[in-house]
Amino acid sequence: MTELPELVVADRDAGAGAELGAVGLVVVGAFEGEAPEPAGLPPAVAAAAGRLAARPGWRGHEEQRAEAGLESGGPVVALQGLGKRARLTAQGLARWLRDAVDAGQKNGFESIAVALPAHPETAGAGAPERVERGLLTAAYRFDRFQTERDRPGVRARRLVAVPPAGAAADYRAAAGAARAVAAGVGLSRDLANTPANEASPAWMEERCRELAAEHGMRVTVLDAAELARRGMGGLLAVGSGSAQPPRLVRLDLDRGGPRVALVGKGVTFDTGGISLKPADKMAEMKYDKCGACTALGAARAAAELGLPVALSVYLPLAENMPDGSSCRPGDIVRCYNGKTVEILNTDAEGRLILADALAWAAEEEPAAVLELSTLTGAAVVALGHEAAALYTPDDGLAGELAAAAAASGDRLWRMPLFPEVAEQLKGDHADLKNLGSRWGGANFAAAFLGQFVGAVARWAHLDIAGVAYVGENDDEPKGATGWGVHLAVDWLRAGAGRTPGE
């Protein structure tokens, strides 16, 4: 896994001189129309930031940046705008941290400090962990397939957080949890970014076994023969056209408390099968395993944090390929809970593999089920790349997840589960069909999954198609985001009686 940099907290109340004297770049944040906050910064750094703010044209707009070296030597000082104070959000601050660290890395700085002004997003409830996680994940790069000469800049090895005055103790208290979550995010991104010629279902199984061995989890793997014996026809159908056999991996972390299930969609590459996708952007379909990668990242973080949870993670893994043995439109398959499904479109495959995994999870009668999947383009049409779609019939669970979203910065938007939508999924020649009408496709997919949760009332489906990765036409760095790891961990932590930073 990509190695995390060292994280240090500098205390403005103690002058912050020792920590900042050892870095190559100090990035000072300033709000639009406001002077930088010099309190606690070394005099030379504060003076340099003041001179930069006094330059003609400096306003503190978002993405505005100016830098200068110190006349007496020492670190380079960069002044970077945060935009209007009233408009700063957790998501905006995360982008700012990413831009600050990324610019430093591209310019060859291996040690970078970030000085933050006072604001609820920098020193409010839950802010220290969000900021530190944001710093650590900002340094992430997936570059193991690049030769040394083609890697731009350097990778930061040391990051220094300089919180507002009076907040250093809170930042130090939150550092361990932030590091555990950032490691989970890094694992999720590494797995998701790995291309399908390496990241096959078998490769994902091996990564699961490594994680289980490292963190004391039990691992159970259902291969194709066992899937057939158990009647898991949805997963078998999706994987039938690939030379890489499907499997269903289960990880168990038993540390007391009620059992909770995480289910993650793991299509290692999605061509659409016989219902072939257009060639445009098909290279992005290595990211169709992001749900499984998020679940694994959350499991790693939960283990490292020592959360007192009984966690079961279910990962249906398959490659959806066209072949003479592929499932066809019109085929009827029987899933693990006995329900039959008429396949109208082989590109609506995620719900088929999740049907078997959810039915197995529900059979264990967990207290709650949280499922994550890059399931539909319709969710992206509805919400863009700003939030994941949340579907759940349980208002209490919806509230818990909304609180976790607010604490983590991983945005959610609740969507409807109308009963008439489920009625429209009744098949002509089978119990169900895997496709609804053209409109409201994300709603139909969620309603389909609801047919496989058995008696579990507290279940939630997160359609993360719009937030799990950044594609080729977006302005942000390309690749997997690790979205949902922090949210899932905060939800588990709240259920275990803990709060962010503990």
What would the two tokens of residue 250 be? Answer: 């289960």
Q: Give me the pLDDT at residue 377, please.
A: 96
Per-residue confidence (pLDDT) for residue 475, from 0 to 100: 65
Contact 446, 461 (CB under 8 A): yes
381 within 8 A of 100, measured Cβ to Cβ: no
Alpha-helical regions (H) of 371-477: 377-383, 395-408, 419-423, 441-449
Q: Which residues contact 365 (CB under 8 A, 6 or more apart)?
A: 259, 455, 456
What confidence score (pLDDT) does residue 151 get? 73
Q: With b meaning 16 or more CB within 10 Å and e meaning fewer, what string describes 263-291?
A: bbbbbbbbbbbbbeeeeeeeebbbbbbbb
Quick check: 159 and 112 in contact, CB under 8 A? yes
Count how many Cα atoms sit within 13 Å of the Cα of residue 27 in the half-sphere of its side chain: 28
Least confident of 147-161, 275-289, 325-339: 147-161
**pLDDT tens sequence across 335-391:** 999 999 999 999 999 999 999 999 999 999 999 999 999 999 999 999 999 999 999
| Tokens describing residue 340 | 């039959």
How high does pLDDT run on average in the chain? 95
Residues 6+ apart with CB under 8 A from 336: 230, 231, 232, 233, 234, 355, 356, 359, 360, 452
pLDDT at 289 over 80: yes
pLDDT band at 460, cuts 50/70/90? very high
C-alpha span between 417 and 422 (Å, rounded): 8
- pLDDT tens across 11-28, in order? 999 887 778 888 999 999
In this prediction, residues 46-63 reach a mean pLDDT of: 94
Q: Is the pLDDT of residue 191 over 80?
A: yes
Place of tokens 């609804």: 436
Examine the pLDDT at 81 and tell me if it is beyond 80.
yes
Confidence of residue 474 (pLDDT cuts 50, 70, 90): low
pLDDT over 90 (residue 499): no
Which residues have CB under 8 Å from 91's CB, separation 6+? Answer: 386, 409, 411
Confidence of residue 477 (pLDDT cuts 50, 70, 90): confident
Q: What pLDDT digit, counting tens, does each position of 196-231 carry?
A: 999 999 999 999 999 999 999 999 999 999 999 999
pLDDT at 484 over 60: yes
Query: Average of pLDDT values for 138-151?
Result: 85
pLDDT-derived band at 149, boundaries 50, 70, 90 = low
Domains, the chain: 6-177 (3.40.220.10), 194-495 (3.40.630.10)
Cα separation, 251 vs 362, in Å, equals 15
Distance CA 131, CA 108 (A): 23
Query: Catalytic amino acids?
Result: 277, 351
Q: What pLDDT, in 10s, does the model give residues 417-453?
A: 999 999 999 999 999 999 998 899 999 999 999 999 9
Closest C-alpha among 365, 304, 350 to residue 462:
350
In this structure, of 64-73, 367-376, 472-481, the range with the lowest mean pLDDT score is 472-481
Beta bridge partners, 373, equal: 463
H or E stretch covering 305: helix 290-305
Taking the model in full, what pTM does it have?
0.96
